[in-house]
Structure 1
């Protein structure tokens, strides 16, 4: 057997061993990759979800006030003044500041708040203020009386007749405007009409006095 033949056989053996080693390495690599677990999308744990929930703003702690949150501010004071004017309108007679404060349930408020309400009512265009005490002398800020000022300063049948007789023309008055400060206006008008002292225009639908 020649040496060249042996040399070829040796080279063929080495080549075969090299190929076998390469295939074995590839198989191992594939096996390792295939056996690795498929990564799953991460999900927040229950504790992290709880943390997220705790970080959200808690709106349940909103404070509820029995009075507006801006107690003592201009808006709150003007709201009380509106209630006071409505109260005076319903009474139709002069009222003291104490009765107004009592109606508004402001007895526990500071003197400054009460004084502010009194000062606004004294200058209100729908309120008549009558000071008490000696004319020309300064009276206490909480004295005097307050009365609702209606569109027409008429509160009785006598005042109504006097007003109509003083007018230069026969133009009448709106009953609705009379009732602004005189809730019994319609009853008085019915009585005066029955006595032929007034000429009344009535609504066709309900026969109520209109003018």
Structure 2
């Protein structure tokens, strides 16, 4: 009776079939044959591709360690610039402790201090002065990497007064000039000393026309300097020189050749020498004596 009451009857009194389930309500992700549907395949493929493309997120501790290492390296390179300026201003060797105290880096861990010392040793503008080996230094508990001093390495090292400047110029083996700009890198206040040496005729100086600043320096010999009477200088400057065109005409009238014609004659001589035919030597007689056994005629030995 229960089953009969649960079914419906039509107008003619016939029993109706139960309604089929809707495909959207009870749809299965897999087909009847057990293979996954195309929608499930696409969803799985998209999820896998997104997961593969996503980069692994570092842990907060690893990210903080990486940022700290990068900041430390950048911080050390900046501190090296401050060390160069500090040593250049002091112009005297300084110990490692004095450098660390100036930069307030004395609280760094030991391994970071050693790294900073290695960077100072490799810097091109910092010169390391090892500590002298004495009994006191050997008995000290201080490690070797903390000993010694550091000083600024100038472009022209060792020149800091008039005597060292003259000694440096005397050691030059050529007639090249010494740049005052490079000299001021290790001796900033050298202008007064250069002027005094110039007045003493010990150096020759080329100065700028605008500001009269020393630009280049050469070595001079005071024995070659002679005082000239001012009256003679006035007479010399009163003599008027002819114009360049009149100079050539007057030289030709006196039977002299201008210097401008000399290169032309030299060029003609050079062209004549170039036109001469080179003599070629006859080739030497060459023989193949070492191959005589290979070139021998064996045709009479034919059978």
TM > 0.5: yes
Higher relative CO (Cα under 8 Å, sequence separation at least 6) belongs to: 1
TM alignment of 1:79-118, pairs within 5 A: 79-118=78-117
- Identify if the C-alpha distance between structure 1 residues 82 and 198 changes in structure 2 by more than 3 Å, giving closer, same or farther: same
Structure 1 gaps, min length 5: 1-67
Q: Of residues 182, 199, 205 in structure 2, which corresponds to 1:200?
A: 205
Query: Which ranges of 4 or more aligned residues in structure 1 deviate by more than 3 Å?
Result: 68-72
Q: TM-score, normalised by structure 1?
A: 0.61
Q: TM-score, normalised by structure 2?
A: 0.44
Q: Matches of 1:115 and 1:194 in 2, distance apart?
A: 51
Q: Matches of 1:196 and 1:119 in 2, distance apart?
A: 46
Residue 194 of structure 1 and its aligned partner are, at CA, apart by: 2.0
**Secondary structure in structure 2 of the residue aligned to 1:113:** helix
**Secondary structure in structure 2 of the residue aligned to 1:210:** strand
Deviations 1:3-24 (A, max 9, x none): xxxxxxxxxxxxxxxxxxxxxx
Residue 71 of structure 1 and its aligned partner are, at CA, apart by: 7.3
Residue 84 of structure 1 and its aligned partner are, at CA, apart by: 0.6
Q: Matches of 2:203 and 2:132 in 1, distance apart?
A: 41
Q: Of residues 140, 160, 167 in structure 1, which corresponds to 2:172?
A: 167
Q: Matches of 1:198 and 1:208 in 2, distance apart?
A: 15
Query: Aligned pairs, how many?
Result: 143
**Secondary structure in structure 1 of the residue aligned to 2:178:** coil
Residues 133, 139 of structure 1: 8 Å contact kept:
no
Deviations 1:60-87 (A, max 9, x none): xxxxxxxx97676211111111111121
**Secondary structure in structure 2 of the residue aligned to 1:167:** coil
Residue 146 of structure 1 corresponds to which residue in structure 2? 150
Residue 109 of structure 1 and its aligned partner are, at CA, apart by: 2.0
- Identify if the C-alpha distance between structure 1 residues 204 and 93 changes in structure 2 by more than 3 Å, giving closer, same or farther: same
Residue 25 of structure 1 corresponds to which residue in structure 2? none
TM alignment of 1:50-69, pairs within 5 A: none
Residues 94, 145 of structure 1: 8 Å contact kept:
yes
TM alignment of 1:23-62, pairs within 5 A: none
- Identify if the C-alpha distance between structure 1 residues 107 and 117 changes in structure 2 by more than 3 Å, giving closer, same or farther: same
Residue 99 of structure 1 and its aligned partner are, at CA, apart by: 1.4
Residue 163 of structure 1 and its aligned partner are, at CA, apart by: 1.2
Residue 123 of structure 1 corresponds to which residue in structure 2? 122
Structure 2 gaps, min length 5: 1-66, 217-303
Q: Matches of 1:149 and 1:130 in 2, distance apart?
A: 11
Q: Matches of 2:97 and 2:148 in 1, distance apart?
A: 10
